[in-house]
Amino acid sequence: MAVTTSSTSPTKIEALRPQRSLWGDAWRRLMGSTTGRIGLAITIALVLVATLIPFIRPYDATTDRNLRIRLTAPAWSMSEEERTQKEFGMWDQLFGTDELGRDLFVRVLHGSRISLTVGLFAVSLAVVIGSLLGLIAGFFGGWFDTIAVWIMDIMLAFPSILLAIAIVSIRGPGLFNTLLAVGIVQIPIFGRIVRSAVLSIREQEYITAARATGVGSMRILLRHVLPNSLSPLMVQASLSIATSIISIAALGFLGLGAQPPDPEWGTMLSGARNYVGQGKWWYSAFPGIAIMITVLGFNLLGDGLRDALDPRSRT
């Protein structure tokens, strides 16, 4: 809170301002920025859809088929006559149907569950392991630090999707292996963030003070160092969920991720690919738009968090 006005002393200003906690302040700043607000709105809406959809419209991918209406365009995109002739209402199959006559609208909504859960778990895995590695490497230094940094550098020097593909290719296709692969390739990102935060915090006077009062290393790490490296972690986590969701979809698209009939967005696009040439645009359009909106939401949220949590941009 560096308020520098030449006429008034800083202490006076402090007294005039209502006291706010770090997180309260960050929250206000997040809500104050357009990007942050839109990002938060999109992500909250997605989480709501993903949690509520099984109750509103239960879905079983293994039994869902309706061959009578296979590869049907959304009713709203048809002409009036065509709709009456086929006896469709205006809002029937909002997103069209696929080669098994499954309603893509239902499948896309259910896909949000897969993408969000897998993305969240993959990033959590990376955050937990990455932070631990970073904490230990940064705080204790020594040979462990040297080796950890070397491995992380090499992993970062490598296109991450390629690494993910390599991991999945050995473990075999599937959703769980996708989660592992996407999580593992992000470990070094978090490891480096936490390590560099630790390196700068380690030399602070309050750490020396804590040490002088006889606080143990473990307690210093968990109570002083970790909380202070939390903000860059949160920003990166949000951005990482965005890239994870794209990677999950990419693996699904390549046939290495979720397997049919799971309504995963990338897997759906992989099926849609065979029908682009036949002009079935809706089949690929809607799952892709769903990915885009989700990723955009987390990207905006991450940008908003960065502005909100960065003390240097505080006004």
Partner 1 sequence: MVAYLLRRLVGLIPVLLGISFLIFMLLRLIPGDPAIAILGERSNEEQRDAIREQLGLNKPLFFDLSGEGNVFDTQYFTFMGNILRGDLGTSVLRRTDISGELMTFFPATLELSLAALFIATFVGVTTGVISATSRGSIFDTASMGIALIGVSMPIFWLGLMLQYLFAVNMDVLPISQRVDADLIRGFDAITGLYTIDGLLLGRFDITTNALRHLILPSITLATVPLAIIARMTRSAMLEVLGQEYIRTAWAKGLRNQTVIMRHALKNALLPVITVIGLQLGLLLAGAILTETVFSWPGIGTWILHGILGRDYPVVQGGIMFVAFVFVIVNLVVDMFYAVLDPRIRY
> Which residues lie near partner 1 (CB under 8 A)?
150-151, 154-155, 157-163, 165-172, 242, 246, 249-250, 253-256, 266, 269, 272-273, 276-279, 281, 284-285, 287-288, 291-292, 295-296, 299-300
Kindly state the tokens that stand for 87. Answer: 């006896």
- Minimum distance from CB of 11 to partner 1 (Å)? 33
What token pair was written down for 235? 């920003």
Query: CA 49 from chain center: how many Å?
Result: 16
Q: Which residue, 231 or 267, has its beta carbon nearer to partner 1?
A: 267
Give the nearest distance from C-beta 204 to partner 1 in angstroms: 30
Q: CB of 22: closest distance to partner 1 in angstroms?
A: 27
Are the CB atoms for 289 and 207 separated by under 8 Å?
no
Cβ density class 275-307: b for 16+ within 10 Å, e for less: beeeebebbbbbbbebbeebbebbbbbbbbbbb
CB of 164 to partner 1, least distance (A): 9
Closest to partner 1 by CB, 163 or 226: 163
Gyration radius from the chain CA atoms:
24
Tokens of 158: 């490598």
Nearest approach in angstroms of CB 16 to partner 1 is 32
Q: Is the previous residue joined to 159 through a cis bond, with omega within 30 degrees of 0?
A: no
Alpha carbon 2 to its chain's center:
33
Collect all residues with Cβ–Cβ distance below 8 Å to 53 and sequence separation of at least 6. 59, 109, 110, 112, 113
Nearer residue to partner 1 within complex by CB, 295 or 309: 295
Which CB atom, from 59 or from 281, has the smaller least distance to partner 1?
281
Minimum CB separation of residue 159 from partner 1 in Å reads 4
Peptide bond into 261 cis (omega under 30): yes
- 225/257 with CB nearer partner 1: 257
Query: 53 vs 254, which CB is nearer to partner 1?
Result: 254
